[in-house]
C-alpha cells in the first residue's frame, strides 16, 4: 500500500494531546488523508480507549498533565497488548537529551511542534510502513522458528521412526533366526527319521546304503562287513506275538551296540536283518572273533514281559570290502556268506572265501539260467524205486528232478532247488514235475497195466499258503486223467508242514479229501516234536537218510528210528526209510517193521529209460518180483 498517496482506511491513528487545537488540526489532517482517527486528551483517557481498540500508530504529546507522554509510552511498552504499536512523540522540546529519553522508552520518532503537516504525514506513513515490515519480519521469523521447530520435531520423529524400524528389523531378524533354527531342527528331525529305524533307532537301510556307497568311493581305510540275521525269528513272532517280537528286536539292537561301542556302523535293514560295518583289522581271526562275540552275546537269554527267550543269529562276513567298488556286488556276496552261515546250522558265522565267492557267482549264474532252462525244456525227472520191505515188491518211484544244464552238465537238485526256492521259481518247477510225473505214470500204466497201489511220489517245496492253494486248485481231472488219486503221493518236508499256516493245513486236508496221499519228507530234520505229528494231515512218513545212516554205526540211531516208527504205526501211518545203503540198515528196518524203503542198496534214481526197463522186468508179473 502507498501510505502517502493511497487511502489509509484500514489504519487507525491514535492522537493523544491535551491541546485541543493540535488535536483538531491533526484529526482533520489525518481524516482527510484517509486514516481512521481516534483521539484522547490525556493519558488516562488514552489508556481507557486502548482497552478496546488497537491503533496502528500513536501520536503522543510529551507534555500532558497527570500522566506525561513519556510515562504513557513507558506503560504502553510494558503491556504486551500495546508494546508493538509504534509511538511518535509530538513535542516542543527538541533537545537531544529529551529525544534520547523518549527513544529509550520505545518511541520510534519525534515530530517537533509546531509541526509541518506534510512531515507529520510522511513520518506517519514511514512508521506505518516500518511497523508493517517489522510485523512481516516478525511473522517471517515466527514462521522460520516454527519451521525450525517443525524440522526438529520431524527429525525427532524420524529418529523415533528409525529406532522403531531398527527395533522391528532386530525383532524380525530374531524371529527369522528362530525360524531358521526351528527349520533346521525340523529338518534335522526329518533327516533323522528318514535315516533311522523307528523301532530300534538304529540307522536304517537307506542310511546304511548311502554310507556304504561313500565308503566304497572315498574311504582310505578298509572295513569288514557283517551281515546278521536272526534264526527262526518268525517263530518267535508267531509264538509270543509281535509286541514281544518288536521288544526283542530293540534289545537285540542294544546288545549289538554294546559289543560294537562307538566303533563302526550298525544298521537295521528291516525285519530281523542287521548290517555292521567295522574298521578292518589285520588278521582273519579278529573279525571271526567279532562275529562269534556278537553271536554269543545274543545267545544269552532275554527276559521280555514274563517270557525268557533265546535267539540265535547267523552272520555272513566279508572280511575286507576294499576290493569292491559296487555295493550291489558286495551285498550279494554278504548275502551269500550269510546263506552259507545259515546252512551250517543255527548261531554260526561264515566268512566269504574265494571259493565261496566262486560258488556265489555260480549261484547268480544259476539264478539267471533257471527261467531260461524252463523255457528251453532243460529239466527232466529221474525215478528212484521204492520197495515194500515186507513183500519186496516194487511199489512206486520217487520222481527227482534233474537239470541238463547246457554248460554245467547234469545238475542235481541241491544245486538249484534252494536257489529256486529263494527266487520263487520253485513253484513253477514243482508244478512241471507234478505234470511230467503224472504224464509218465499214465504212459507206464498204459504200457504195463500197473494198478492203483503203484505210486509216483512228487516233491513239493512251496509251502506258502498261496502256493498250497494253487496246488489244491489245479485241474486235477486233467492231471489224474486215467489215473487213480492213489497213484500220486506228494512229499512235503517236515519243516514245510511245520511252517504251514492253519489255512495251509486246511488246503492240504482238501488234497487228502481227494484221496491224494501226503508224505512227510525228511522226517526228523525239522523242528516239530513227535507230539505234533498227529496234527499233520499226512498218511506217510519218510525217515530221513541221516537217521538211517546212524543205524549201523551204533550212534543211537536205532532208538530214534524205533521211536519214530512206533509212533507212526500208532497213528496208522506208513513209513518209508530213505537212503538205505547197507544190508545192515535194511535188517534193522525190517526188524522195526518199517513198511517201505528206498536207497542205493536197491537202486539209485533212474532215467526214464532205465525206470521203464525196470518196470518191464517187474510188470506185468506180479507178486514174484523182488528187489535184487
With CB under 5 to 8 Å by kind, the binding choice for 86 among Mg ion, ligand C2E, none is: none
Query: What part of residues 502-561 is at the interface with ligand C2E (CB under 6 A)?
Result: 521-522, 545
Closest approach of ligand C2E to the CB of residue 204, in Å: 35
Q: Are 470 and 501 in contact (CB under 8 A)?
A: no
CB within 8 Å of 323: residues ≥ 6 apart: none
**What is the C-alpha separation between 230 and 314, in angstroms, rounded?**
6
**What is the C-alpha separation between 348 and 342, in angstroms, rounded?**
7
**What is the C-alpha separation between 258 and 440, in angstroms, rounded?**
60
C-alpha R_g of the chain: 61
Which range in 45-53, 122-130, 342-350, 412-420 contacts ligand C2E by CB under 6 A?
A: 412-420
Longest dimension (CA), the chain: 188
Of 214, 360, 198, 358, the C-alpha closest to 277 is 214
Q: Return the residue of 73, 304, 417, 511 that touches ligand C2E, per CB under 6 A.
A: 417
Q: Return the residue of 578, 585, 595, 611 that touches ligand C2E, per CB under 6 A.
A: 578
Between residues 316 and 597, which has the closer beta carbon with respect to ligand C2E?
A: 597
Between residues 43 and 524, which has the closer beta carbon with respect to ligand C2E?
A: 524
With CB under 5 to 8 Å by kind, the binding choice for 430 among Mg ion, ligand C2E, none is: ligand C2E
**What is the C-alpha separation between 437 and 106, in angstroms, rounded?**
145
Which range in 36-44, 60-68, 453-461, 620-628 contacts Mg ion by CB under 5 A?
A: 453-461
Closest approach of ligand C2E to the CB of residue 599, in Å: 3
Between residues 402 and 445, which has the closer beta carbon with respect to ligand C2E?
A: 402
Between residues 287 and 479, which has the closer beta carbon with respect to ligand C2E?
A: 479
Q: Return the residue of 412, 555, 559, 593 that touches ligand C2E, per CB under 6 A.
A: 412
- On the CB side of 198, CA atoms within 13 Å amount to 3
**What is the C-alpha separation between 256 and 234, in angstroms, rounded?**
20
Residues 251-279: b if buried by 16+ CB within 10 A, e if exposed: bbbebbbebbeeebbbbbbeebbbbbbbe
Residue with cell 552275546: 297
Between residues 351 and 425, which has the closer beta carbon with respect to ligand C2E?
A: 425
Q: Are 12 and 35 in contact (CB under 8 A)?
A: yes
**195 φ/ψ sector (left φ>0, alpha ψ -120 to 50, else beta):** alpha
**x/- site string to ligand C2E, residues 380 to 409, per CB under 6 A?**
----x---------------xx--------
Ramachandran angles phi, psi of 140, nearest 5°: -60, -45
How would you classify the pairing of strands 313-318 and 488-493?
unpaired
Indicate whether 109 belongs to the interface with Mg ion (CB under 5 A): no
Q: Return the residue of 11, 204, 459, 487 that touches ligand C2E, per CB under 6 A.
A: 459
With CB under 5 to 8 Å by kind, the binding choice for 397 among Mg ion, ligand C2E, none is: none
Long-range contacts of 111-118 (CB under 8 A, 24+ apart): 111/59, 113/22, 115/90, 117/25, 117/29
Between residues 333 and 522, which has the closer beta carbon with respect to Mg ion?
A: 522
Tell me how far the alpha carbon of residue 171 is from its chain's centroid: 33
**What is the C-alpha separation between 434 and 438, in angstroms, rounded?**
6
Long-range contacts of 94-99 (CB under 8 A, 24+ apart): 98/62
Closest approach of Mg ion to the CB of residue 478, in Å: 24
Number of residues that bind ligand C2E (CB under 6 A): 25
**Burial of 352: CB neighbours in 10 Å, binned 0-12, 13-18, 19+:** buried
In terms of DSSP H, where are the helices of 79-225?
96-104, 117-195, 205-218
**What is the C-alpha separation between 604 and 579, in angstroms, rounded?**
10
Of 343, 340, 363, the C-alpha closest to 352 is 340
Query: What part of residues 196-215 is at the interface with ligand C2E (CB under 6 A)?
Result: none
Strand partners, 249: none
Closest approach of ligand C2E to the CB of residue 329, in Å: 29
Query: What part of residues 590-609 is at the interface with ligand C2E (CB under 6 A)?
Result: 598-600, 605
Between residues 341 and 580, which has the closer beta carbon with respect to ligand C2E?
A: 580
**x/- site string to ligand C2E, residues 240 to 279, per CB under 6 A?**
----------------------------------------
Between residues 349 and 460, which has the closer beta carbon with respect to Mg ion?
A: 460
Between residues 237 and 459, which has the closer beta carbon with respect to ligand C2E?
A: 459
**x/- site string to ligand C2E, residues 483 to 502, per CB under 6 A?**
--------x-----------
Between residues 393 and 433, which has the closer beta carbon with respect to ligand C2E?
A: 433
Query: What part of residues 566-625 is at the interface with Mg ion (CB under 5 A)?
Result: 578
Q: Return the residue of 348, 459, 461, 487 that touches Mg ion, per CB under 5 A.
A: 459
**x/- site string to Mg ion, residues 502 to 531, per CB under 5 A?**
-------------------xx---------
Q: Return the residue of 40, 212, 426, 480 that touches ligand C2E, per CB under 6 A.
A: 426
Between residues 393 and 459, which has the closer beta carbon with respect to Mg ion?
A: 459
Which range in 224-232, 370-378, 413-421, 452-460 contacts Mg ion by CB under 5 A?
A: 452-460
Between residues 450 and 577, which has the closer beta carbon with respect to ligand C2E?
A: 577
Of 243, 606, 242, 208, the C-alpha closest to 394 is 606
Between residues 320 and 528, which has the closer beta carbon with respect to Mg ion?
A: 528
Q: Are 470 and 427 in contact (CB under 8 A)?
A: yes
Between residues 124 and 520, which has the closer beta carbon with respect to Mg ion?
A: 520
Of 612, 583, 613, the C-alpha closest to 597 is 583
- Looking at residue 114, what DSSP letter applies? S
How would you classify the pairing of strands 57-61 and 87-91?
parallel
With CB under 5 to 8 Å by kind, the binding choice for 600 among Mg ion, ligand C2E, none is: ligand C2E
Q: Which residues bind ligand C2E (CB under 6 A)?
A: 384, 400-401, 412-414, 417, 426, 430, 433, 459-461, 491, 521-522, 545, 578-581, 598-600, 605
Q: Which residues bind Mg ion (CB under 5 A)?
A: 459, 491, 521-522, 578
Amino acid at each position: 500500500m502507498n501510505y502517502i498517496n493511497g487511502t489509509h482506511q484500514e489504519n487507525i491513528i491514535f492522537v493523544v494531546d491535551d491541546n485541543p487545537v493540535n488535536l483538531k488540526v491533526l484529526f482533520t489532517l489525518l481524516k482527510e488523508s484517509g486514516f481512521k482517527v481516534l483521539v484522547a486528551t490525556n493519558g488516562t483517557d488514552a489508556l481507557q480507549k486502548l482497552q478496546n481498540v488497537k491503533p496502528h500508530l500513536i501520536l503522543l504529546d510529551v507534555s500532558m498533565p497527570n500522566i506525561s507522554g513519556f510515562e504513557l509510552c513507558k506503560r504502553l511498552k510494558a503491556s504486551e497488548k500495546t508494546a508493538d504499536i509504534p509511538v511518535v512523540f509530538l513535542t516542543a522540546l527538541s533537545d537531544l537529551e529529551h529525544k534520547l529519553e523518549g527513544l529509550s522508552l520505545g518511541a520510534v520518532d519525534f515530530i517537533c511542534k509546531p509541526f509541518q503537516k506534510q512531515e507529520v504525514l510522511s513520518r506517519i506513513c514511514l512508521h506505518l510502513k516500518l511497523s508493517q515490515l517489522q510485523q512481516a519480519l516478525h511473522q517471517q521469523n515466527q514462521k522460520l522458528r516454527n519451521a525450525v521447530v517443525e524440522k526438529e520435531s520431524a527429525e525427532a520423529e524420524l529418529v523415533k521412526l528409525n529406532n522403531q524400524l531398527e527395533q522391528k528389523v532386530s525383532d524380525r531378524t530374531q524371529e527369522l533366526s528362530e525360524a531358521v533354527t526351528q527349520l533346521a531342527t525340523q529338518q534335522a528331525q526329518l533327516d533323522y527319521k528318514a535315516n533311522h529305524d523307528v523301532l530300534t533307532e538304529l540307522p536304517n537301510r537307506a542310511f546304511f546304503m548311502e554310507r556304504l556307497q561313500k565308503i566304497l568311493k572315498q574311504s582310505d581305510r578298509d572295513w569288514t562287513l557283517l551281515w546278521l540275521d536272526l534264526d527262526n525269528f518268525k517263530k518267535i513272532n508267531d509264538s509270543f506275538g509281535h509286541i514281544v517280537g518288536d521288544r526283542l528286536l530293540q534289545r537285540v539292537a542294544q546288545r549289538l551296540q554294546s559289543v560294537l561301542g562307538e566303533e563302526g556302523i550298525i544298521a537295521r535293514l528291516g525285519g530281523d536283518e542287521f548290517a555292521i560295518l567295522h574298521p578292518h583289522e589285520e588278521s582273519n581271526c579278529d573279525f571271526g572273533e567279532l562275529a562269534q562275540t556278537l553271536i554269543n552275546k545274543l545267545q544269552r537269554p532275554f527276559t521280555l514281559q514274563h517270557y525268557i527267550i533265546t535267539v540265535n543269529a547267523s552272520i555272513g562276513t566279508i572280511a575286507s570290502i576294499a576290493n569292491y567298488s559296487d555295493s550291489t556286488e558286495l551285498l550279494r556276496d554278504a548275502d551269500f556268506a550269510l546263506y552259507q552261515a545259515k546252512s551250517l546250522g543255527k548261531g554260526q558265522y561264515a566268512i566269504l572265501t574265494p571259493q565261496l565267492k566262486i560258488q556265489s557267482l555260480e549261484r547268480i549264474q544259476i539264478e539267471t539260467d533257471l527261467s531260461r532252462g524252463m523255457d528251453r525244456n532243460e529239466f527232466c525227472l529221474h525215478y528212484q524205486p521204492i520197495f515194500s520191505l515186507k513183500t519186496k515188491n516194487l511199489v512206486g518211484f520217487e520222481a527227482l528232478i534233474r537239470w541238463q544244464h547246457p554248460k554245467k552238465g547234469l545238475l542235481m537238485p541241491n544245486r538249484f532247488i534252494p536257489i529256486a526256492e529263494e527266487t520263487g521259481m520253485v513253484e513253477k518247477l514243482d508244478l512241471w514235475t507234478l505234470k511230467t510225473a503224472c504224464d509218465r505214470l499214465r504212459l507206464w500204466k498204459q504200457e504195463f497195466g500197473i494198478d492203483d497201489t503203484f505210486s509216483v511220489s512228487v516233491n513239493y517245496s512251496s509251502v506258502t499258503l498261496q502256493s498250497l492253494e494253487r496246488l489244491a486248485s489245479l485241474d486235477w481231472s486233467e492231471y489224474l486223467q486215467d489215473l487213480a488219486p492213489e497213484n500220486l503221493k506228494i512229499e512235503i518236508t517236515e519243516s514245510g508242514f511245520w511252517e504251514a499256516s492253519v489255512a495251509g493245513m486246511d488246503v492240504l486236508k482238501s488234497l487228502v479229501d481227494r484221496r491224494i496221499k501226503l508224505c512227510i519228507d525228511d522226517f526228523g530234520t525239522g523242528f516239530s516234536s513227535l507230539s505234533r505229528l498227529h496234527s499233520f494231515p499226512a498218511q506217510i512218513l519218510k525217515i530221513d537218510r541221516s537217521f538211517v545212516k546212524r543205524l549201523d554205526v551204533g550212534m543211537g540211531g536205532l532208538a530214534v528210528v524205533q521211536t519214530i516208527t512206533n509212533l507212526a504205526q500208532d497213528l496208522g501211518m506208513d513209513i518209508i526209510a530213505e537212503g538205505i545203503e547197507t544190508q545192515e540198515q535194511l535188517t534193522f528196518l525190517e526188524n522195526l517193521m518199517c513198511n517201505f524203503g528206498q536207497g542205493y542198496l536197491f537202486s539209485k534214481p533212474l532215467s526214464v529209460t532205465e525206470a521203464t526197463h525196470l518196470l518191464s522186468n517187474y510188470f506185468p508179473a506180479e507178486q514174484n518180483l523182488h528187489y535184487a
